[in-house]
Structure 1
Amino acid sequence: MPSNATTVKPPTLRIMLFIHSLHAGGAERVAVDLANQWHIHGHDVIVVTQTDASGDVYELNRHIERVALNTAGLSGIMANLRRLYVLRKALQRYRPDIVLGMMTTASILSVIASTGLRTRVIATEHTHPPSQNLSSFWLKLRRRTYPRAAKVVALTRDTASWIVNHVPGSDMAVIPNAVHWPLADSEPKVTPPSRNGRCRLLAVGRLHTDKGFDILIDAFRDLAQVFPDWDLVILGEGTERERLQAQIDAAGLADRISMPGRVGNMRQWYQACDIYVLSSRVEGLSNSLLEAMACGMPSVAFDCETGPREIIRPDIDGLLVTPVEDPQALAAALSGLMHDKQARKTLASRAVDVRDRFSMRRVLSLWQEVFNDIQHHEKKE
């Protein structure tokens, strides 16, 4: 018999996302993804940044209003007072139901700027707090402001536990990043070089010490002679390029390790390589690891304090390596997979489960639960 039940559509919300910029970065990408999806689902979305649009890497839906506060590059207490002033003006002008502060300082500023307004603030943490380089000033402000936020969202359970213990009074929720599937191409498009019968390890990320590419280079140096038909590709840009290139040259591996820079056609690169390696010392929740697994890549990652362990199911769809920051341990794990093509195929066949486990549909439903909870508490007040 047909059901008489009707689906109740969630109320339309005016949602403001506040983030420093839309330049390259994981949180920036997540902000654009969420903004675009919420717009598609009928919400009124505004994205507020401190920078203008000239350096944008990620593309907002053209119907989403983009507001630039032009407060980037300022420093000191007066600069932050200026940021609070112009952000509060934006809140008063647009009167959002919910403000999403993307990352720690944006979250703190959002809570303070919304004081006395009806806007509800959701603070978010995109990196594990112990790995952040925050001054005592911002640490104190986080302890004062997060308990005033309507919700604090962490990417992982471990980060949520840390905040509960170190920022008491925070109302926590855990929402991971969604995996992009199918992966969309963007600029710059760089064609992977021909394999010519060779195999490849692939690593992706900012060229920054947190990503541990120096450890990966040391590990590959130990593997290079044993596996003469394997190469290593590191995709990304950052401040550590010169130092990493010097390390590669000193190891005599310039013809085996390449750093082509940032590319936009990631799916083509994932498909052109054989094993994905995440050598990070610290992680939030790795978008590149999710993408690699969605593309069917067997993956090896250090079991750092947060992140990979919530994505990889050990020996089912990838390998977790301990101790962290140990190039010999990483080399040993990689060696086993490089030797065993069938093991790579087995892990790859199960890795694609992340398409469902971290689907946008599931992530949006978790965000809707947060919105519903905030509105429920608002009605009780």
Structure 2
Amino acid sequence: MRIRYLLLHAYGRGGTIRTVFNQANHMAAAGHDVEIVSVERRREEPQFGLDDRVRITTLIDLRQGAAPETGRGPLARYRASRRAVDVEEGPRHIPPGEFLNDRFNRHVEKTVIGYLRTVRGGVLVSTRPGLNILVSLHAPRGVVLVAQDHMNLGVYTKDVQRAIRSHYRRFHAVAVLTHADREDYEALLPGTRIVRIPNAVHSMEQQPADYGSRVAVAAGRLFPQKAFDKLVLAFAQVVERHPDWQLRIFGTGELKDELRALIEEHHLYNHVFLMGHTSELDDELARGSLYVLSSRFEGLPMVMIEAMTHGLPVVSFDCPTGPAEVITDGKEGLLVPPRQVEGLADAMAQLMDDEGLRADMGAAALATSHSYAPEVVHPQWEALFEELLTGDAG
């Protein structure tokens, strides 16, 4: 079968990109014709491994020095002038509440619409609300349409939720990550097929964690969503009881300077380290003794589940749709009421106090992570696509 994945920026480092690449690699290995279509391109190479059999196509090349569209004559000049105007004009179809609304302008919309009109047959998978809306409006008939939600319905603003209610009914299936989110979508879109398929980890063949280390690990973009400010404040309380422990935060983002200032303010420069981006996160997770998730909201926290494949126990805020879908409090780790800094500190300290407890919870975490193994998750996608192509959608 032919499968196309539509991403806003396939050359970035986000969790959506990583999980889509994993899906695409599996589908190609299973013998399917797979293409990733990236609306924009800002880097030379993808940041995640991609099977050589997966084609990758760019619609708008934004790399420095990229060759502009060429042409001569009045028509070419008109198109260049029109494009310059469209770049400055806001999108017509994408609601302002879309998290990456600033990446959508009229030129982007027109380019995506132009691409969609060329699609024939097969399965088209779109991966965020802005793209899903354009697909629902402009994809031709005869294409199986699947919308993926890599976040969760509850975090979207009212205008995005209204757009979802108005436009998603055209999809043959809407795929969500958690049981709770499936229930929310079913209430919003009665009669639309809603399926829950979690994201898969990239591998179960991982080096086990070192429970004797004095290292807590966290990872994610340095954005407000991840609430690393709360984590730093919690660790400031922890080091009073456990001065021999370190917190290593992996990731890059706009809050780097703010977090560094917070670390300095609380004299944590020997305890909390902003490690930046690493291409060897598996190795870094294996050096840890526990994993901490401090997010304000999540879809399905994949780095947390990746940590569990190393046998790392988890301390997490019980933020909406995500951690509690995976973690049973007191089994694979500890869940803390959202945004309660003192509770997060106490939970970390409880695990730091007891190496045996870390090992027991880590073993349970490893067992639970098998539900997210590639060989468990990816066949669910393959079965869904085949059913839609041969069943009612056909």
Report the TM range for the smaller structure's normalisation. 0.7 to 0.9
Q: Among residues 233, 238, 241, which one is paired with 1:218 in the alignment?
A: 233
> Structure 1 CA distance, aligned partners of 2:213 and 2:20?
38
Hey, what does 1:290 align to over in structure 2? Answer: 305
Note the 1:54-69 alignment, pairs <5 A.
Answer: 54=44, 56-69=46-59
Letter in 1 for 2:351: L
Secondary structure of the corresponding residue to residue 373 of structure 1: helix
Q: Pick closer, same or farther for the CA change 1:355–1:157 going to 2, 3 Å.
A: closer
Does the aligned pair in 2 maintain the 1:233–1:257 contact within 8 Å? yes
Q: Pick closer, same or farther for the CA change 1:27–1:198 going to 2, 3 Å.
A: closer
Secondary structure of the corresponding residue to residue 9 of structure 2: coil
Hey, what does 1:244 align to over in structure 2? Answer: 259
Q: Does 1:156 align with 2:181?
A: no
Q: Pick closer, same or farther for the CA change 1:183–1:246 going to 2, 3 Å.
A: farther
Note the 1:357-372 alignment, pairs <5 A.
Answer: 357-372=371-386
1:328-370 CA-to-partner distances (Å, cap 9, x unmatched) read 1111111111101110111112211144211111112221332
Secondary structure of the corresponding residue to residue 221 of structure 2: coil
> Structure 1 CA distance, aligned partners of 2:122 and 2:249?
42
Hey, what does 1:173 align to over in structure 2? Answer: 195
- Shift in Å at residue 225 of structure 1? 1.5
* % identical aligned pairs: 28
Q: Among residues 99, 105, 111, which one is paired with 2:136 in the alignment?
A: 111
Secondary structure of the corresponding residue to residue 40 of structure 2: coil
Does the aligned pair in 2 maintain the 1:183–1:267 contact within 8 Å? no
Q: Among residues 298, 301, 311, which one is paired with 2:316 in the alignment?
A: 301
Q: Among residues 320, 343, 352, which one is paired with 1:329 in the alignment?
A: 343
Note the 1:225-240 alignment, pairs <5 A.
Answer: 225-240=240-255
Note the 1:265-280 alignment, pairs <5 A.
Answer: 265-280=280-295
Letter in 1 for 2:34: V
Contiguous gaps of at least 5 residues in structure 2: 63-86, 93-103
Q: Pick closer, same or farther for the CA change 1:74–1:292 going to 2, 3 Å.
A: farther
Q: Does 1:122 align with 2:146?
A: yes
Q: Does 1:259 align with 2:274?
A: yes
Secondary structure of the corresponding residue to residue 353 of structure 1: helix
Secondary structure of the corresponding residue to residue 225 of structure 1: helix
- Shift in Å at residue 84 of structure 1? 4.8
Note the 1:47-86 alignment, pairs <5 A.
Answer: 47-52=36-41, 54=44, 56-70=46-60, 76-77=90-91, 82-86=107-111
Secondary structure of the corresponding residue to residue 280 of structure 1: coil
> Structure 2 CA distance, aligned partners of 1:250 and 1:25?
30
- Shift in Å at residue 184 of structure 1? 8.8
- Shift in Å at residue 154 of structure 1? 0.4
TM-score when normalising by structure 1: 0.86
> Structure 1 CA distance, aligned partners of 2:7 and 2:319?
26
> Structure 2 CA distance, aligned partners of 1:207 and 1:344?
27
Letter in 2 for 1:334: M
- Shift in Å at residue 80 of structure 1? 5.5
Contiguous gaps of at least 5 residues in structure 1: 1-12, 186-194
Q: Pick closer, same or farther for the CA change 1:198–1:34 going to 2, 3 Å.
A: closer
Q: Does 1:140 align with 2:165?
A: no
Hey, what does 1:188 align to over in structure 2? Answer: none
Q: Does 1:341 align with 2:355?
A: yes
Q: Which shifted more, 32-41 or 358-367?
A: 358-367
Does the aligned pair in 2 maintain the 1:50–1:69 contact within 8 Å? yes
Does the aligned pair in 2 maintain the 1:207–1:239 contact within 8 Å? yes
Does the aligned pair in 1 maintain the 2:22–2:202 contact within 8 Å? no
Q: Which shifted more, 91-100 or 257-266?
A: 91-100
Secondary structure of the corresponding residue to residue 151 of structure 2: coil
TM-score when normalising by structure 2: 0.83
1:206-245 CA-to-partner distances (Å, cap 9, x unmatched) read 1111111111111111111111111111111111111111
Does the aligned pair in 1 maintain the 2:38–2:58 contact within 8 Å? yes
Secondary structure of the corresponding residue to residue 117 of structure 1: coil
Q: Pick closer, same or farther for the CA change 1:281–1:202 going to 2, 3 Å.
A: same
> Structure 1 CA distance, aligned partners of 2:267 and 2:274?
15
Q: Pick closer, same or farther for the CA change 1:66–1:209 going to 2, 3 Å.
A: same
> Structure 2 CA distance, aligned partners of 1:96 and 1:263?
39
> Structure 2 CA distance, aligned partners of 1:367 and 1:250?
48
Q: Pick closer, same or farther for the CA change 1:106–1:165 going to 2, 3 Å.
A: same
Hey, what does 2:98 align to over in structure 1? Answer: none
Letter in 1 for 2:216: L
- Shift in Å at residue 90 of structure 1? 3.3
Question: Alignment length, in residue pairs?
Answer: 353
Hey, what does 2:2 align to over in structure 1? Answer: 14
Q: Pick closer, same or farther for the CA change 1:64–1:184 going to 2, 3 Å.
A: farther
